Amino acid sequence: MTKEPTSYTEAISEIDKIVSSLSEETISVDMLTEKVHRAAELIEFCKQKLQKTDKEVQEILGKIEE
């Protein structure tokens, strides 16, 4: 079972490691699908985190403008 990241920073760090291993070709073909799938999960996590943060910031700014 894959561990869910606890923060945006943690997810980005793991994505960086995956990209590094892909670009350096240190990953085996057997692991390629697994790593790409994991990267997709992490990207989705980051996307959701950014959307949530944007919504919260907009709400805060809306309260300030009132």
Query: pLDDT for 11-57, tens place per residue?
Result: 999 999 999 988 887 788 888 999 999 999 999 999 999 999 999 99
Residue 54 within any structural domain of the chain: yes
Residue 49 within any structural domain of the chain: yes
Residue 3 within any structural domain of the chain: no
Domains in the chain, number: 1
Residue 1 within any structural domain of the chain: no
Residue 19 within any structural domain of the chain: yes
pLDDT tens-place string over residues 2-17 = 788 899 999 999 999 9
Range of the domain at 16: 8-65
Are 42 and 14 spatial neighbours (Cβ–Cβ below 8 Å)?
Answer: yes
Instruction: Indicate whether this model's pTM tops 0.75.
Output: yes
CA-nearest of 2, 50, 39, 32 to 17 is: 39
